[in-house]
A and B are shown apart, each in its own frame.
Chain A
């Protein structure tokens, strides 16, 4: 029998009934008395100076109540305090098609829509920049005047260990180029915000956000309203995946329109606008050089990445570092160099998407590991097991590793899929592929420097034994409310269904930094546990006195506090609460969590990568390639994931399967293509996110390494499982048709090209990917010029006479 009454059980999520019956109240479901409807006017130009904005005709339009423009909120903002380069609405310049420029509030949505066409904007077109290459070299065109070199947003160089020595000692060297295409989150719920500025001069903003606390700070800055007079309530997010973790123009616009009109204002983006809001996966060009001994032991890795950041910073500084930070935590690397460059282009800004910045390099690296295994005639699974970074160790870039279950994940996959026996044996057109990965259980540092907790929680027990948990986390569908309830319930000895959760409300709940970087289970879980254990001690003490049993012998479960040696001897949780409140006064306790010191290095840039615990995962993909049409079918994806401990296995499996689905979509069909800066397919019909009919059979295997610092041993499960799926599918396609896909996505066209079936000339290829150059012959800049990913040519707009 389990030592737990809640943890590890497949209990239904506390909020699933509301979601299943359509009773969950999303931001767009809110209707307040006298509410106005807002809409944003967006830029039709990729790069232009705004000469003049004339809103007079829109203001005069019947039904229009207020119009605001960028000039009304000129304060710079952005999620990372060190790189704030955005304004809520464009002030004097637009930098991508779809950038919000003005906002209208009207009595109804139709009127607001009509009024947009009455706003006159006088643009002066500037030359746009669309590719990484142009951005690196064009000193004459600056998307942001602040950029020191051309259009470089951030350049980082980190080196660890003896790189020269490492490469010198290698018996075999691989030098591969990769390209990861841009894609987006596509949550079912489009962004929505309702602002209400009341007669008390206080602003309440209900919004679908992952980061209510950070948004709270930015609202203060941009609106000039003290934070004490602002309340942010994160409504349940209908999916977010990183796409709702920036402060967005529509949130400020709704707030300002409400302040101007003293009426509630709602702005809900339509689907096309969600594509422009973006903040999705960065396109990344990568070069990875890896030296290995004959037996495969890695001697050195030099990883370089070039990120196309789009028009603004977003989390870009973190993304840039993340492309290089986590390659070291899976396999032993004694010497490591990382060069990363993120540039501005005139496209919607990229940001964090599930796996934030680690997905692209992990794809490249795991494809390369597969190639190394082949070069050395090693079984890719056994090879990975041989070079694992050990548990309780430090990486070459000074990251602290604690629990590490990648070996168990690989073993579990071999048992489930018989990968090693089946690889290379499935016949033409059928293949099996493998990859491993790791991810953080929360960023080790907050985005703004401070010494306060990363997560705070407050628990109150009422006189009927009801438990209320308050925590600033944002429920984005990942199950965080259920996690809060489960951890509190386990610690106190009640059931999750007895717990009321108040989350994502800056007035009612202590700060949690937000639902990003897979930090909530680890950090908020620990904060809630901390608070719950304080209350538990009071209740148990009261029960011990009443039952005349030593407190150490008392256990709590199923709403009772009972004698371990004689379970018939108990008092109910509610009775214990009355006794404890009689003795100690109102039963409230606060808990908090902050990652320990010393989990990372102290060099510049060491802030990105450390985490209190890494999750580990590996995936096996099985594919069928239609040799005549080039269509790829992924038949099955099996993912083994080390989540420390599954607080709720059903929820963990849901996250692992959802990640596999999303990773599958990223490599098989999803890509964001632009023409002249205009998104070619900003709709769910044209953007090929898979449907349920396309989704492979998914199997999730939970591996539990029981982390010493996680709440009840838990680590993250929401992002890491995406990473191995993408290279596993690429490696499976290689197994099927002998073609390396060193770029995403794998399309029918590319398969036909590789098979020599694209045209009558019939030239076969063994690799699809960006051109590199011979190792060490030229500087990276020249290399880059020769690096033409297949996407570049089509980004330029064809001249129309």
Chain B
């Protein structure tokens, strides 16, 4: 079987200590000595994505800082808002009655990540920080050697997806992120000096190599969602199989009802570009309506326009673009009052 490369493992007991270790061990420094650029030190939470990637030598950090033993790293608290610790497993989120009831999109998204086994290990923090994916990148060292590498692992090579692309086109693939986006999530980071809050919508950028505006010495510690009074939300995911697969097109939608009219709306997509994104043009026409078919069609059209899938996942471009449109319609229809 594929074996993990050698690495050292540190297990701090607090996020502060983890941030300290990142800073001390040269977080952010790129090591190009082994043929593929790799960070000297990386964080690992559940490890469900990181370890397979390491086995395939997509990166080979010398040092891993595990967050598994950080005290109070998991848990869901409510005090005027919903606070989810980054180490909370996807299973715990999917099963939480409060989240299922009031932040439905998040529970639905957590429930369709990979397989039950991986959801028991995988964390919300890990999912938020999931590496972008591409079928030229998520391959073994042997495969990539045969292909001749790509921009994401070797700066001297073009992007294999679109050879004239100035940037890496790897795909954002985290299920929970569009759900968190439509629920208005804020994420909290700590570093050796202190901490900062970032609206989740500002975290991502359209770059497959550097998909997050994030310093390498920061540790994601919490996700906060505002109270969901009057909101209804849902998440729909297209994938080839009923289990195991990453999304190849996904839509999250949330609307806030004020009587029979929508007073606020958010729609977010993922797996249709290098970053998950809120589609403001899709949400805007919904406000003030009762989600009639014509309005929904307008929103779906806007999502269709915003979706920019490339030929680097399963499925095809046209199929995935169409799924974005269809799933937007279906999601919004399901959010009409019963």
Chain A residues close to B by CB (< 8 Å): 42, 44-45, 97, 109-110, 113, 190, 268, 270-272, 628-631, 669, 676, 678-682, 685-686, 688, 690-694, 747-749, 752, 757-759, 798, 800-801
Contact = CB atoms under 8 A, between A and B. Distances in A.
Contact of B241 (A113, A669, A678): A669
Given A44-B145, A676-B147, A693-B242, 15 more contacts: A97-B146, A110-B3, A110-B6, A272-B2, A630-B319, A678-B147, A685-B138, A685-B246, A688-B240, A691-B241, A691-B242, A694-B243, A748-B319, A758-B318, A758-B322
B241 A688 contact: yes
A592 B212 CA distance: 69
Nearest to B5: A110
A45 B142 CA distance: 11
22 contacts: A44-B142, A44-B146, A110-B6, A268-B1, A271-B1, A628-B322, A629-B327, A630-B322, A631-B238, A678-B143, A680-B135, A682-B143, A685-B245, A688-B314, A690-B241, A693-B242, A694-B243, A748-B319, A752-B322, A757-B322, A758-B319, A798-B163
A271 B163 CA distance: 29
Given A629-B326, A678-B143, A686-B135, A800 B163 contact: yes
Interface in B1-52: 1-3, 6
A270 B314 CA distance: 22
Nearest to B6: A110
Interface in B232-259: 238, 240-246
B160 interface: yes
A270 B1 contact: yes
A798 B311 CA distance: 13
B129 interface: no
Interface of B: 1-3, 6, 115, 135, 138-140, 142-143, 145-148, 158, 160, 163, 238, 240-246, 314-316, 318-319, 322-323, 326-327
Contacts of B327: 629
Contacts, number: 90
B323 A629 contact: yes
A680 B158 CA distance: 18
Contacts of B242: 691, 693-694
Contacts of B319: 629-630, 747-749, 752, 758
Contacts of A752: 318-319, 322
A150 B315 CA distance: 35
Contacts of A97: 146
A783 B38 CA distance: 52
Contact of B315 (A679, A694, A748): A748
A759 B3 CA distance: 44
A654 to B, nearest CB: 22
Contacts of B314: 681, 686, 688
B163 A629 contact: no
Nearest to B244: A691
A97 B139 CA distance: 14
A798 B1 CA distance: 31
A121 to B, nearest CB: 12
B3 A272 contact: no
A685 B148 CA distance: 22
Contacts of B323: 629
Contacts of A801: 158, 163
A113 B3 contact: yes
Contacts of A681: 135, 314
A175 to B, nearest CB: 30
8 tightest A-B contacts by CB?
A693-B242, A44-B146, A691-B243, A749-B316, A628-B326, A693-B243, A749-B319, A688-B240
Contacts of B2: 270-272
Contacts of B163: 798, 800-801
Contacts of B140: 272, 682
